[in-house]
Structure 1
Amino acid sequence: MQGNGEHHANDERLPATARAAGFASPFDRAAWFDLLAAHGFAGKSRIDAQGRAGNVTAWLPLRIEKPGKFAGLTNWYSFAIRPLFTGDGDRSAALRALFRNLRQQAAHLTFYPVSAPDDLAAALRAAGWWVTAKPAGDRHWLDLGDMDHDVWWASRPGALRSTVQRKAKKGVVDIQLLTQFDPGSWAAYEQIYAASWKPEEGHPALLRAFAEAEGARGTLRMGLARIDGVPVAAQYWTVEDGTAFIHKLAHVEDSLKASPGTLLSAALFRRVIEIDKVKRVDFGTGNDGYKRDWMNRHDPLWRIEAFNPSRVAAWGPALKAFGRALLRKDK
């Protein structure tokens, strides 16, 4: 077995040109998976699974959790995992070929978080896998459609709009928005996070490297709120392909009376809607109640498990998984 984050010798590396179907996201790029691998999230080893059909190749970066058990290469910062493609042609056929190829290597596959499970599950079943898909978490997002900022804002709860109006009028909170990575501002974010209600940051070096890369790409949108010159709230967003992604937010607890986090959110929403012209805002994973105030769409996230019927090692876990699925249906 190779060291953490390395590829098997007979694997091709995911090319930088690979793209997912639909709207692009920062979690669909080769650079993101390389970053995860470099920071220790590739498990026992990394495999960039692939399958070809004509001129199109399907790709899925995976980690080996243990011999025969693979999972999508994600971590807690990932909004979703989905297949990537290079070339033009029948993507569904290429994805089926990928999963047929994986039957030679794996007994058990796990993918989470998955926002659109149908195509992935169908390709797995067509390639001969036993498949379960279950809701596992939540996703809140904003679909602006034809709304501009003012129409969207008018649709938000009255209590939220009143808070922003009242607190902004007091002039206690100063807002700064950045579109480039700044070490001093990032240090302020880390200071705020450490003093916030949130648990200890899981991997701050990875998050900083991600922010630096997004700053270099011109997609970073970061906000800081200060009271009397002291940073009290921070948020880290990115924008890409008509979508704003909200990655991290934090505020100092004893600043709540001035609502700096709410004012900062309002400023960033205005920025990405009016200037970046986004049509969607993705709040990532989690069902925190405050997200409903800002978003108008709520979808489940899914966990997909697949079992290789030709591997005896898969039979026991498959029986347990399908048994749990039956119990859920009976409730």
Structure 2
Amino acid sequence: MTLSCSHFYDTADWYRVFEETCLDPGDVVRIEHLDGGHILPIRERPDAVGPLRGRRMEWLGNYYSCRYAPLLTSPDAASDVAEWGREIRRGKPRPSLLVFAAMDRPSAGFDALWNGLGRAGYLVEATEDFGNWYLEPAGDFARYWAERNSRLRNTVERKERALFRAHGARVEILESPADTTRAIDLYQRVHAESWKEPEPYSNFIPSLIATGFGAGAVRIGVLMVDEEPVAAQLWIVWNRHATIFKLSYAERFARFSPGSILTRHMMRDAFDRGGLVEIDFGCGDDPYKREWLPERRQRWVLTAYDPLSLTGAGHTIRRYLPRLLRRRLLGR
């Protein structure tokens, strides 16, 4: 049996970090082992519709998770998912909903869940989740940079010249387990000086850096100015796929565009090392992302409603049926 972990988000390390730092009250982690050897990492959690109370099952993820996929032993897993779906519908408490977000569509995992849960008697729908901007590297960094728009190139090069003239500046890339404490400190110092709110799960990033350094899956890039960190990026690099996962910069240096300067250096480093088949920008459609990584794909939420549970019936009436009617009226 071979389970594909093409992305770091599929690995035991990722799920261990998530389980240790990102669970909410009432969450129960369930690693479901289906017939056929397939694995579904999920969590069971409280659910409510008005006065109705129940339980739902969701993907083991949140806004930190850039991609979710069941771990399948073969592309044809719908029958095994259907049997699993029938089994949990017989259980008590009977889950009202099953929700799987951040999914590629089409994909083997999405198709297996869609077809299998439909066969098991659920009402299944897909809704848009977020855009994911990406690039399949070709050629060297010089070619990549020449293909960016002239406004971006001219601005970044001009700001970098100004910064390096006015200050002692350098870029440091950390990825060794021996650098874990320093990397966490530098990253958090920049984040504290940035425009960003504190992380809602404060232990997630330090744990991800420590675990990722140990697994060879995380790089921290830092722009140092006069020996002080002013911009930081966290890259996840695994199995030839790279995600620019987190980035921030100190607002007091905003006039120099330190985030863009660091992105250019990190991209050059990625091209120089070679071997990547894809670089992506994680979650969201922030306008700047398309300037660096010009291709976009949609990630999806798959929701399966159980109309025969009380809470599931409430969700069906409030959410599924109105959206179904709207799609029919629009001819979609």
TM-score (norm 2): 0.84
Report the alpha carbon displacement of residue 306 of structure 1 after superposing the two structures with TM.
0.5
Please name the residue that 1:34 is paired with: 16
1:137 pairs, out of 127, 130, 137, with 130
Q: Deviations over 1:123-155 (max 9, x none)?
A: 3213321111111222212223x4433322222
The answer to whether the Cα contact below 8 Å between 1:49 and 1:62 also exists between their aligned partners in 2 is yes
Distance between the aligned counterparts of 1:251 and 1:179, measured in 2?
Answer: 19
Please name the residue that 1:59 is paired with: 39
Query: Residue type of the partner of 1:19?
Result: L
Please name the residue that 2:173 is paired with: 177
SS of the counterpart of 1:135?
A: strand
More moved, 210-219 vs 123-132: 123-132
Q: Deviations over 1:2-45 (max 9, x none)?
A: xxxxxxxxxxxxxxx9734xx61121112322222222516431
Runs of 5+ consecutive residues of structure 1 not aligned to the other structure:
1-16
Report the alpha carbon displacement of residue 312 of structure 1 after superposing the two structures with TM.
4.2
Query: Residue type of the partner of 2:150?
Result: G
Distance between the aligned counterparts of 1:275 and 1:73, measured in 2?
Answer: 32
2:30 pairs, out of 47, 60, 67, with 47
The answer to whether the Cα contact below 8 Å between 1:41 and 1:74 also exists between their aligned partners in 2 is no
The answer to whether the Cα contact below 8 Å between 1:57 and 1:91 also exists between their aligned partners in 2 is no
The answer to whether the Cα contact below 8 Å between 1:58 and 1:98 also exists between their aligned partners in 2 is no
Q: Deviations over 1:180-234 (max 9, x none)?
A: 2431232121011011011111223121111111101122211111222221100
Please name the residue that 1:93 is paired with: 79
Distance between the aligned counterparts of 1:219 and 1:246, measured in 2?
Answer: 12
Higher relative contact order (CA 8 A, sep 6+): 2
Report the alpha carbon displacement of residue 71 of structure 1 after superposing the two structures with TM.
0.9
Pairing 1:116–2:98 present: no
Please name the residue that 2:67 is paired with: 80
Report the alpha carbon displacement of residue 92 of structure 1 after superposing the two structures with TM.
3.7
Distance between the aligned counterparts of 1:134 and 1:157, measured in 2?
Answer: 33
TM-score (norm 1): 0.85
Please name the residue that 1:243 is paired with: 241
SS of the counterpart of 2:281?
A: strand
Distance between the aligned counterparts of 1:321 and 1:314, measured in 2?
Answer: 10
SS of the counterpart of 1:250?
A: strand
**Cα pair distance change 1:281/1:328, threshold 3 Å:** farther
SS of the counterpart of 1:235?
A: strand
**Cα pair distance change 1:184/1:101, threshold 3 Å:** same
Query: Residue type of the partner of 2:290?
Result: R
Distance between the aligned counterparts of 1:44 and 1:179, measured in 2?
Answer: 32
Structure 2 counterparts to residues 143-154 of structure 1, below 5 A: 143-144=136-137, 146-154=138-146
Query: Residue type of the partner of 1:28?
Result: D
Query: Residue type of the partner of 1:51?
Result: L
Query: Residue type of the partner of 1:251?
Result: Y
The answer to whether the Cα contact below 8 Å between 2:8 and 2:217 also exists between their aligned partners in 1 is no
Runs of 5+ consecutive residues of structure 2 not aligned to the other structure:
47-53
SS of the counterpart of 1:63?
A: strand
Report the alpha carbon displacement of residue 57 of structure 1 after superposing the two structures with TM.
1.3
**Cα pair distance change 1:44/1:89, threshold 3 Å:** closer
Please name the residue that 2:317 is paired with: 319
Query: RMSD of the alignment, in Å?
Result: 2.3
SS of the counterpart of 1:46?
A: strand
The answer to whether the Cα contact below 8 Å between 1:51 and 1:99 also exists between their aligned partners in 2 is no
Please name the residue that 1:280 is paired with: 278
Report the alpha carbon displacement of residue 179 of structure 1 after superposing the two structures with TM.
2.0
Distance between the aligned counterparts of 1:128 and 1:205, measured in 2?
Answer: 39
Report the alpha carbon displacement of residue 90 of structure 1 after superposing the two structures with TM.
4.0
Please name the residue that 1:103 is paired with: 89
Please name the residue that 1:3 is paired with: none
Residues paired across the two proteins, number: 308
